[in-house]
Amino acid sequence: MQNYTKTLLNYFLIGILAIIPIVVILQIIIFIEKIVSDLFSIVYDYADSYVYTALFFVVSFTIVVSIGQKIVKKGRPWVITIFDRIIAKIPFLNTVYRVIGKLINMFSSHDQTVGKEVVYVEYPSPGIWVPAYVTNHHEDRYVLFIPTSPNPTSGFTVIVHQAKIVKSAMNIEEATSFIVSVGVDYNKSAEMTQLP
């Protein structure tokens, strides 16, 4: 009976891990659909015309694409810079806004200076190696975010000496895939032999 229960729990966990990516994607799609439908109903209720509503969405899409293009080619537009300065003067909101901005820059491809490096670090004890994102560094000290598996949005932030880390050839996407798949998707497995 005990073995049967253990087998059932094992199958249950495997099933949960298989379903998690689908649920996450569906939640993202539902979230985006809700935002778009809410915005559509607000605009339509105000204009009371499908033509004006469609025109609003086309203009909005064009503006957002234009902002993205300017950021890639010339840097931040003045409108966003002014908004940044206004938010910077509001307590609490300025901290949240600044942190979210840094996280987005870390994971976005256009900022090549922040958070592009993945390393291995011994955690939680010597001899146990985990991948970590380099989020900051100063001289020989590194600030690392060590994500948990299979949910990389939670984890631990630690400061370690450069001598305590081993560099990895993985990029952020590969490291995240490794973490979410609990090690199944590991295309840099040869790096395991480099760990002391």
Helix (H) / strand (E) element for 42: namely helix 2-47
pLDDT, one tens digit per residue, over 143-189 is 999 988 887 778 889 999 999 999 998 888 788 888 888 888 888 87
Stronger pLDDT, 25 or 110, i.e. the higher one: 25
Range with the lowest mean pLDDT among 46-50, 170-174, 192-196?
46-50
Beta bridge partners of 166: 120
CA distance 24 to 30: 10
Q: CA 55 to CA 25: how far, in whole Å?
A: 29
Question: Given this model, what pLDDT does residue 113 score?
Answer: 47
What was the pLDDT predicted at 165?
Answer: 92
Is there a contact between 120 and 131 (Cβ–Cβ < 8 Å)? yes
Asked whether the beta carbons of 130 and 123 are under 8 A apart, the reply is: yes
User: Which residue from 115, 169, 153, 156 is spatially nearest to 137, judged by alpha carbons?
Assistant: 115
Average pLDDT, the chain: 78
> What are the CB-based long-range contacts (under 8 Å, 24+) for 149-153?
149/179, 149/180, 149/182, 149/183, 150/17, 150/20, 150/179, 150/180, 150/181, 150/182, 151/180, 152/176, 152/179, 152/180
What domains lie within the chain, and their CATH numbers? 1-88 (no CATH), 113-187 (2.30.30)
User: Which region holds residue 146: left if phi is over 0, alpha if psi is between -120 and 50, else beta?
Assistant: beta
pLDDT by residue (tens digit) across 75-119?
666 667 787 788 878 877 777 777 777 666 655 554 444 457 899
CA 125 to chain centre: 26
E strand map for the chain: 118-122, 129-138, 141-147, 155-161, 165-167
User: What's the pLDDT at 121?
Assistant: 93
